[in-house]
Amino acid sequence: MRFLIIRKADEETEAGALPTPALFDAMMRYNGEMMDAGILVSGDGLRPSRDGARVSFRDGVPTVTDGPFTEAKELIAGFSIIDVPSKEDAIAWIRRWPVEDANGNARIEIRPLYEPGDFGEEFTAEWLAQEERLRARAGTPRG
C-alpha cells in the first residue's frame, strides 16, 4: 500500500524558516533508513504558502487567489510517499519521525493512495492501460 505522509505546516514553516543543520542531518538519516528498508518512493518540502496560489472553481469558472493563506496548521509543509504492507507499518515508521523537527511537536497525517484497482467497474481495462502509459511517460523532460 502506498501512503502519502503529510507534514503539516506551522508558524515557522510558514515564515520560511530553514531547517537547522541538526534537523537536516536527522531527516537525512531517517530518509536513508526508509530508503534502506525499500519503502521510500519520494519526498519533498514545500515553500511557504506566500509563494503559492489557489484556484477555485465555481461552476467551471476559475478564480485565482495569491498566498499567503492564514490557516497555518491546516496547510502542508512537506510530504513523502512510502510503500508499506499496511497502515500499521506506516504508523510504526512515522513514530520514528525525528524529534529534531518542530522541537518534537511535528504533526503528521498519513493517507492511503488510490490504486487503479480501487476504481472498480468505472475503470475499464482500457483506462488502466492508458493510465499506465501516462505514468510511464510522466517525468519526461519537456522539449
Report 53-92 residues binding other proteins (CB under 8 A): 53-60, 62, 64, 69, 71, 74, 76, 79, 81, 87, 90-91
Give min distance, CB of 12 to other proteins, in A: 14
Cell of 84: 508499506
110 binds other proteins (CB under 8 A): yes
143 binds other proteins (CB under 8 A): yes
Q: Are strands 53-58 and 61-66 parallel, antiparallel or unpaired?
A: antiparallel
Out of 85, 117, 125, 139, which residue is the one contacting other proteins (CB under 8 A)?
Answer: 139
* Binding positions for other proteins, 21-50, rule CB under 8 A: 21, 24-25, 28, 31-32, 35, 38, 40-42, 44-47, 49
18 binds other proteins (CB under 8 A): yes
Secondary structure of residue 133 in the 3-state scheme? helix
CB of 1 within 8 A of CB of 41?
Answer: no
Give min distance, CB of 25 to other proteins, in A: 7
Give min distance, CB of 27 to other proteins, in A: 10
Instruction: Give CA angle at 48 (43, 30), nearest 5°.
Output: 30
CB of 91 within 8 A of CB of 114?
Answer: no
CB of 15 within 8 A of CB of 102?
Answer: no
